[in-house]
Amino acid sequence: MTAVKQIIKRNGTPVVYDRVRIADAIFKAAASIGGDNRAESERLAGLVEHRLESMYGGEPPTVEDVQDLVETVLIEENHVNTSRAYITYRSQRAQRRASRADLASSTFNNIPYKKIYDVLRWNLDHGCESVESLNRIIAENRFAGLVAACEERYLGECRAAASNVLARIDDIRVIIVAGPSSSGKTTTTIKMMERLEQEGYAQKAINIDHYFFNLEEHPKDEFGDYDYETPQALDLDLINRHLGQLLAGETIRTPHYDFQTGQRTLDVHELSLAPNEILLIDSLHGLYPAMTAAVSVKNKFKLYIETLGQLRSAQGEFMRWADHRLMRRMIRDSWHRNHTPEETITHWHYVRKSELQHIIPYNASADFLVNSAMPYEIPILKNKLFHYFPAAIQTLKNNPKRQDAYIRARRVFDLLDPLSVWTDESLVPPTSHLREFIGGSDYEY
């Protein structure tokens, strides 16, 4: 019996794990180039399963994790041509999923295809759709113009979100800014506040991060790593009690959480709402129903933010949104949470698991979607991070229980390797949401 019982689909739904499906996919890839050895496909599927057991134990991997491991095992077992065929097969499957979506609709299987199309078109219009085109912009000394264009596009989306709030202002008591880790929620919240204040509406923010339980109360894995990415790491009961009290006109005292020590102190920050004030919530899990169950649906405006980048690598593959956010978080964790960049890479499987289970399934319920990916970020992020990857790759490569982290680190390294760096951070405005991660912001976080 395998220790792997379930896998997590792209929409966050857990399904029963079946090794036969892995063998089928490998065999189809092999058959497409003339292979006919079913037994070899089953043997390779067994190797993939063994890796999954070593890496995840009883924790369910994602579909992406499984597919990444299939590619790795095929290459290691010298099935290079089958690996190429499998990558093609995987890409074709993704294209078929996309083709089933109506581009005029907002989401399909929790993927906002219409928005993605708009992002790709914007990148093409501004000549920043690939590593090659970014290198060209840097070489031709046009980087400052790209920074300005990206910042203006993002600010425009924040203003559009605020306009949507104003259209329902008579009912709205709470604005929720949600999205996966390092998507830029805090700066987006601030920029929405600025726009609403211009129209004479006051807001007040509640810091959900202060509602984490003490770190020792969180579960540990075999590496001693804490899982604080799940909404259950937050005191949801206390959050809802405080939300109800605030909307009833009462004064509360929120906790204070110290990320350096992993400890919280109760009854620290006094908070109340005036009759004309809107409460702002910036949280990973803002769309998770249990987070704001005490608030009526009509009184909530839900904004979802994600790095919907459409940047092609030198190999022609689109950079994963999660990889973009990983790079941001590697930097922020190093100065905000006392984690090394290597620790962030190895912890990222918790992040992705939580996103797929507790964040992405609810994004279709949002009232507005903001794209926080800015192509100009990537050369700056490379300058700050690239030197960490060779050592991390070498350390993780031969660790059978860290193959997910190795694959992740290798993929980001391959994306960044041919990209030119940008070292002059003075071009980044002090109010940019990139400052939320690299530091030097005019905003207080």
Q: What is the DSSP string of 20-31?
A: HHHHHHHHHHHH
Domain-ending residue, one of 99, 125, 153? 99
Q: Is residue 105 part of a domain?
A: no
The closest of 322, 400, 393, 329 to 354, measured between CA atoms, is 322
Largest CA distance in the chain: 72
How do residues 360-370 score in pLDDT, each as one tens digit?
A: 889 989 999 99
Same domain, 324 and 216: yes
158 and 192 fall within a common domain: yes
Say which residues have a Cβ less than 8 Å from residue 196's Cβ, sequence separation at least 6. 162, 165, 166, 203, 278
The low-confidence residues of the chain, meaning pLDDT below 50, are 99-106, 108
Do 15 and 144 belong to one domain? no
The reply to whether 77 and 120 lie within a common domain is: no
Do 250 and 183 share a structural domain? yes
Same domain, 180 and 70: no
Give Cα 6 to chain centroid, integer Å.
Answer: 22
Domain harbouring 413, CATH code: 3.40.50.300
153 and 20 both lie in a single domain = no
Range of the domain at 82: 6-99
pLDDT at res. 184: 94
Within a domain: 106: no
Same domain? For 395 and 257 the reply is yes
* Residue ranges in 251-402 assigned as alpha helix (H): 321-336, 341-354, 377-385, 389-397
In a domain, 445, yes or no: no
Task: Show which of 54, 70, 99 is a domain's final residue.
Answer: 99
| Structure-token match 């978080």, residue found | 329
Q: Is 57 in the same domain as 18?
A: yes
d(CA 279, CA 300): 10
Residues 70 and 119 grouped into a single domain: no
The tokens describing 246, both together, are: 């605030």
Which of the listed residues 52, 70, 99 is the one where a domain comes to its end? Answer: 99
**Domain shared by 334 and 384, yes or no:** yes
pTM: 0.75
**130 and 79 in a common domain:** no
In a domain, 1, yes or no: no
* pLDDT at residue number 100: 47
**Closest by alpha carbon to 283, among 336, 351, 206, 193?**
206
Name the domain count of the chain.
Answer: 2
Q: Using CB atoms within 10 Å of the CB of residue 167, give its burial: 0 to 12 exposed, 13 to 18 middle, 19+ buried.
A: exposed
Domain presence at residue 107? no
Cα–Cα distance measured from residue 22 to residue 69, given in angstroms and rounded to the nearest whole number: 10
Give percent helix, percent strand, percent coil of the chain, each to the nearest 5.
55, 15, 30
Q: Which two tokens stand for residue 368?
A: 């507005």
Instruction: Evaluate whether residue 384 is within a structural domain.
Output: yes
- Please name the helix (run of DSSP H) or strand (run of DSSP E) that holds residue 414, with its range, or none: helix 403-416
* Both structure tokens of 418: 């041919």
Q: What is the pLDDT of residues 108-161, one digit of tens each?
A: 456 688 899 899 999 999 999 999 999 999 999 999 999 999 999 999 999 999
